[in-house]
Amino acid sequence: MNLKSEIKEINRVGKTTAGRFKKIDINKIEDLLFYFPFRYKDFTKPKKINEIEDEDEINIKGQIELIQNRRSKNRKMNITEALISDETGEIKVIWFNQKFITQNLKNGDQISLAGKIKKNLGELVLMSPIYEKLNSEEKATHTQGLIPYYHSTEKLSQKQIRFVIKSTLKLAGEIKDWMPEVIKKDLNLINLDKAIKEIHFPESKKILELAKKRLSFNELFLIQLKSQLIKARFKNQKGEEIKFNLEKTKEFINKLPFKLTNAQKKSAWEIIQDLEKKKPMTRLLEGDVGSGKTLVAVIAMLNVYYSNDFKQSILMVPTEILALQHFKSITKLLEKESFIKIGLITKDNKKINYEEQNWEKKTKKKKEETISQNCHIIVGTHSLIQESINFKNLSLAIIDEQHRFGVKQRRSLVNKSGNKKTAPHLLSMTATPIPRSLALSLFSDLNISIIDELPKNRKPIKTHIIDEVKRIQAYSFIEKEIDKGRQAFVVCPLIDPSDKLGVRSVKEEYEKLKNEIFKNKRIESIHGKLKPKAKEKIMNDFLNKKFEILVSTSIIEVGVDIPNASIMIIEGADRFGLSQLHQFRGRVGRGEYQSYCFLFTDSENERTKKRLKIMEKHNNGFELARMDLKLRGSGDLYGTAQKGFSQLKIASLFDYKLIRLAQNKAIELINKGELNKYPLLEKRIKLWEEEVHGE
Ligand code: ADP
Ligand code: MG
């Protein structure tokens, strides 16, 4: 066995389990070792039974005095009850619907338990604890020390993941440490293999911190190296000068039904100035949901259109639905520009805003060829940079909901641009709230524009946390809004059935709303497993008011615009980060109507409630991201602000100190031209260049 061995070669891992690991992208042992926990439970201090208090989360060790199954009073549930003793006393333990436990655990067994204490009829009970039998040689894996928790899927339990990782952890020694020794020494970084071992099963909190630091530095250092390398590599590219057309730009802006915000004007101006240079633009446009980034993009594309000869712009978006929507909204924005040709290219959709008479018959050409050769503005998904598509003269490429173009994307755009002498201007747009100083140090190869204000006409969305007891009241309010002609979204947490109890799923919620709550309303549901065509139809129907309520998973998160929808209901709101809630909320309040966001939670936890309360008061995406990170703290290594930084599995975007260190080290290395002294690091960077999306 080695790092490249398949998961299924591990002892006791069969085909089925291997298949489940595959679902979370773990195929080889190497993947497994780099699959980091997202939090830990602290069972470093075991308690004696007589020390236990209500609401404690504890680990105890003891002997089973008695264990048996019984039916609950309504006979719907199996209850396993046990009595555990240590030298200080006895405590009752209860599990629900886990009948098999009595086959594993017998009277007299020595066990270790970890879980939460609840008071039940005046008696302290340990509820549904994790259990493991103790044998004298081995340390407990699931109930003692700092216990790792991993993001998982339906059928893969925490116990299974821990078991498999633990049994392969010795192979961590084979991991080649690509970090130059001098840097490790300089910054007191522990070795990579040690970090990997400790991140999974930390010996202590102190060592865990060192492991986090080392692994975080890995990620940040690579990002910085990439920035520096891109900067160096594309330094000599020539760009095409796009002259600013003041008259046409003014004309366009004056015809809009609203005024541009100052932030939009400023960003548009920065972009226009970049376009006028003989170097290709590489700019990142940041702006909260609904801040009007598309319009700024359109102003840039309009200037490309009005420059002297035939020049093209493309706008790439992450999904089919979004592509279609952008195609429509841009067509609408530019409807007064009667000669501008706008095209759409996605896997399933090829359209053009104005059809050449019998063009295809005449030329016998494929539709995408017609579009890529004749349209001024082309909207699409990643299909746009597929092999078969070549543009006539591509001058500006815009990518939505991404931080930057990858190296491969950049190369392929140059090759397809139809222009041998210059490279296209590049603009990335993102709603991820990264403060300017951070963005500058993360992406030192990019210029940054930020839209930090929302259009004035926006009515702030009224946000309310709704307790279970007020649910019915909220529904009747929603019904009234719908009767006024509005539409509503209902977002349910992604089902993570490993802790399915009580979590609302799209299917159940859809049935309930349809059959019980809103019987005379039209309701549809949507989730990520549907085919793109089906999703698109549902979104279109919703846009065209063919139904009133859309029950959804978190897939509606990116971009889709339904101006008539004024209500956002979020079930299990406590399961989402503030940034994510803010993104959901941004789906409403996009039209003229007063909009509402209702956060449902059955959590009794005061901290959770306090966290959600922030949503009622704050409307600024960046502030929310920051507070989220602070509140969820190191308990959640992922931090929701980092969505879109897929390569940041463990580093925090807000760890300025480490980011700065990583930047200094990267610049030093590139400036000295010493990269080739470190072949392992070079190889690591090569890997990244092969990836299509380089952030
Ligand atoms: P995002 O930045 O999230 O991509 P959009 O570009 O989709 O935002 O804009 C959201 C909505 O706001 C669109 O319907 C757009 O027409 C509208 N909009 C853009 N700029 C303004 C403005 N200055 N005033 C009023 N509405 C605007
Ligand atoms: Mg957008």
Q: Which of 192-201, 227-236, 455-464 tops mean pLDDT? A: 192-201
Tell me: the pLDDT tens digits for 298-340?
A: 999 999 999 988 999 999 998 887 898 899 889 999 998 878 9
| pLDDT for residue 245 is more than 60 | yes
Ligand 1 pocket, residue 182 CB under 6 Å: no
What is the share, in percent, of the chain residues with pLDDT greater than 90? 53
In the chain, how many domains are there? 3
pLDDT for the residue numbered 643: 46
DSSP secondary structure of 262-280: HHHHHHHHHHHHHHTSSS-
Shared domain check, 330 and 379: yes
Shared domain check, 490 and 406: no
| pLDDT for residue 553 is more than 60 | yes
Token readout for 180 is 């130059």
CA-563 nearest atom, ligand 1: 14
The size of the chain, in residues, is 695
Per residue in 574-590, is it b (16+ CB within 10 Å) or e — as a string? bbbbbbbbbbbbbbbbb
pLDDT for the residue numbered 360: 62
Shared domain check, 442 and 508: no
Worst-scoring range by mean pLDDT, 12-21, 375-384, 552-561? 552-561
User: Taking residues 246-261, what's their average pLDDT?
Assistant: 95
pLDDT for the residue numbered 473: 94
pLDDT for the residue numbered 694: 42
635 in a structural domain:
no
Ligand 1 pocket, residue 289 CB under 6 Å: yes
User: Taking residues 189-216, what's their average pLDDT?
Assistant: 96
| CA 398 / ligand 1 centre spacing (Å) | 17
541 in a structural domain:
yes
| pLDDT for residue 662 is more than 60 | yes
Confidence at 216, pLDDT banded by 50, 70, 90: very high
Torsion of Cα atoms, 537 then 540 then 545 then 549, to 10° = 60
Residue 129: CATH number of its domain: 2.40.50.140
Shared domain check, 426 and 282: yes
Shared domain check, 507 and 365: no
| pLDDT for residue 682 is more than 70 | yes
Separation between Cα atoms, residue 487 and residue 476, nearest integer Å: 14
Ligand 1 pocket, residue 452 CB under 6 Å: no
| CA 458 / ligand 1 centre spacing (Å) | 10
Shared domain check, 515 and 399: no
Residue identifier of the C-alpha nearest atom 4 of ligand 1: 293
Worst-scoring range by mean pLDDT, 190-204, 267-281, 595-609? 595-609
pLDDT for the residue numbered 639: 38
User: Taking residues 202-211, what's their average pLDDT?
Assistant: 95
pLDDT for the residue numbered 692: 43
Give the domain extent around 367.
246-451
70 in a structural domain:
yes
632 in a structural domain:
no
| CA 590 / ligand 2 centre spacing (Å) | 12
Tell me which of 495 and 648 has the higher pLDDT: 648
Final residue of a domain: which of 571, 600, 618? 618
| pLDDT for residue 256 is more than 80 | yes
pLDDT for the residue numbered 112: 94
Query: How many separate helices (H) and strands (E) can be counted in the chain?
Result: 23, 21
Kindly report the number of other CB atoms within 10 A of residue 366's CB atom.
Answer: 13
User: Taking residues 78-82, what's their average pLDDT?
Assistant: 94
Residue identifier of the C-alpha nearest atom 15 of ligand 1: 292
Shared domain check, 611 and 569: yes
In one-letter notation, the amino acid at residue 204 is: S
The secondary element (H helix, E strand) that includes residue 110 is strand 110-120
Residue identifier of the C-alpha nearest atom 9 of ligand 1: 292
User: Taking residues 93-111, what's their average pLDDT?
Assistant: 93
For 585, the 3-state DSSP assignment is helix
Confidence at 480, pLDDT banded by 50, 70, 90: very high
Shared domain check, 420 and 275: yes
532 in a structural domain:
yes
32 in a structural domain:
no
CA-nearest of 406, 412, 395 to 315 is 395
Shared domain check, 472 and 429: no
Residue identifier of the C-alpha nearest atom 10 of ligand 1: 290
Q: Residues lining ligand 2 (ion), CB within 5 A?
A: 559
Tell me: the pLDDT tens digits for 9-37?
A: 888 888 889 988 988 889 999 999 999 99
Residue-averaged pLDDT of the chain: 87
User: Taking residues 392-420, what's their average pLDDT?
Assistant: 88
Shared domain check, 466 and 446: no
pLDDT for the residue numbered 403: 80
Tell me which of 629 and 31 has the higher pLDDT: 31
Ligand 1 pocket, residue 293 CB under 6 Å: yes
| pLDDT for residue 388 is more than 90 | no
State phi, psi for 503 to the nearest 5 degrees: -85, 135
| pLDDT for residue 137 is more than 70 | no
Ligand 1 pocket mutation, candidates 295, 299, 329, criterion most atoms within 8 A of CB:
295
| CA 652 / ligand 2 centre spacing (Å) | 25
Ligand 1 pocket, residue 287 CB under 6 Å: yes
Q: How far does Cα 676 stand from its chain's mean position?
A: 35
| CA 337 / ligand 1 centre spacing (Å) | 19
| pLDDT for residue 586 is more than 60 | yes
CA-400 nearest atom, ligand 1: 4
Separation between Cα atoms, residue 693 and residue 695, nearest integer Å: 6
| pLDDT for residue 356 is more than 80 | no
Tell me which of 505 and 210 has the higher pLDDT: 210
422 in a structural domain:
yes
Confidence at 630, pLDDT banded by 50, 70, 90: low
User: Taking residues 563-587, what's their average pLDDT?
Assistant: 88
pLDDT for the residue numbered 359: 59
DSSP secondary structure of 155-199: T--HHHHHHHHHHHGGGGGG----S-HHHHHHHTPPPHHHHHHHH
pLDDT for the residue numbered 361: 65
Residue 226 burial (C-beta neighbours within 10 Å; 0-12, 13-18, 19+): buried
Whether the CB-CB separation of 571 and 509 falls below 8 Å is answered with yes
Token readout for 639 is 């931090």
Kindly report the number of other CB atoms within 10 A of residue 531's CB atom.
Answer: 10
Shared domain check, 413 and 273: yes
Shared domain check, 472 and 439: no
| CA 689 / ligand 1 centre spacing (Å) | 35
Ligand 1 pocket, residue 294 CB under 6 Å: yes
678 in a structural domain:
no
pLDDT for the residue numbered 645: 59
Final residue of a domain: which of 95, 124, 143? 143
Residue 610: CATH number of its domain: 3.40.50.300
Worst-scoring range by mean pLDDT, 42-46, 288-292, 454-458, 655-659? 454-458
75: left (phi over 0), alpha (psi -120 to 50) or beta: left
Q: How far does Cα 324 stand from its chain's mean position?
A: 22
In one-letter notation, the amino acid at residue 73 is: K
Ligand 1 pocket, residue 292 CB under 6 Å: yes
Final residue of a domain: which of 618, 652, 671? 618
